[in-house]
Amino acid sequence: MYVELDINANLMFADTASGDYLDKAVSWSGVTRKAATKAQMHGLFYNDGNALMDIPIGSRFALGEINYKATERLSLGEYRMEAETAGAAANANLGTLLPIDYVNNLARAELAGLLIAGTNRESDSALYERYQDRISKPITSGNRYQYEEWARETSGVGRAKAFPLWDGPGTVKVVLVDNAMRAPSAAIVQAVQTYIDPSKDGMGNGAAPIGAVVTVVPATEVPINIAVKVTLASGATTAQVQTQLAAAAESYLAGLAFVDPLVRYTRIQGLILDIPPVIDYENLTVNGATSNVEVADDAVAVLGTVTVT
């Protein structure tokens, strides 16, 4: 009983709550969890002569466990296909489509590429981070924190950073990263631009106040290349170390996005020594040097190559 009471007490407070209970705990602040969005794919459709052909809007197809529906004709035989299941699982789902609805003269159909990435339901940690920003930073009257909050309300935006007066009086630049702390797609950037300042003329046609000309851009990615020579435990391989080091470094770099501009050489050293098969290491370089790497305020460090010998 006491264990159950303790669990239920924790679910009442934002810093210990999870799931729907976290939604309820932060709702008073006006911050709500971002829902999952559906992927938009590029579909191609061919007749028995291997020529592109049109299909009826609304036609449904399947690829693996995900179904898709034709929602918009892009050109002859090319359609926007929307996943019926929301989330990021459909983003890399390319290949041959199987028709669910009969389409006359159709011989072959395929998903050839991604138009707009689907996103998963916002995680507890991301929701709590936005909640902390809302209550710890004064958001009012179009200050810099409000621009960042506006940007992060859009699905697919992980973090944002505003730069006031970046190109003279009345100008604001908003730099974005996605949920993976990488440069977001053009569609996400455009969605934020449309929401904050669609006309970019200071007329107040979006969320931004009159007089503010807002430019929304993706963060510049700075690749971090790691090379190291290791002494391995018996039975271990460099491939194992490379996989574990890449995962650890990717997580470390994601945590730095718009928080800390310095990629610390000593932190990379620690990541290597934390890998169980590694007994010792030498000749560690980060971007070809043995020093810290500093990225610009509007840039984000991302994992480049990992070389382990």
| pLDDT tens sequence across 27-45 | 888 889 999 999 999 999 9
Q: By percentage, how much of the chain surpasses pLDDT 90?
A: 74
Confidence of residue 140 (pLDDT cuts 50, 70, 90): confident
Confidence of residue 17 (pLDDT cuts 50, 70, 90): confident
Please give the pLDDT value at position 11: 84
Max CA-CA distance within the chain? 72
Please give the pLDDT value at position 76: 93
Pairing of strands 157-164, 171-178: antiparallel
| pLDDT tens sequence across 167-187 | 999 999 999 999 889 999 898
Confidence of residue 92 (pLDDT cuts 50, 70, 90): confident
Please give the pLDDT value at position 138: 76
Average pLDDT over residues 109-131: 91
Rounded to 5 degrees, φ, ψ at 204 are 75, 35
Neighbours of 165 (CB within 10 A): 10
Q: Which amino acid is at 274?
A: D
Confidence of residue 116 (pLDDT cuts 50, 70, 90): confident
Are 215 and 257 contacting, i.e. CB atoms less than 8 angstroms apart? Answer: no
Neighbours of 3 (CB within 10 A): 7
Are 122 and 34 contacting, i.e. CB atoms less than 8 angstroms apart? Answer: yes
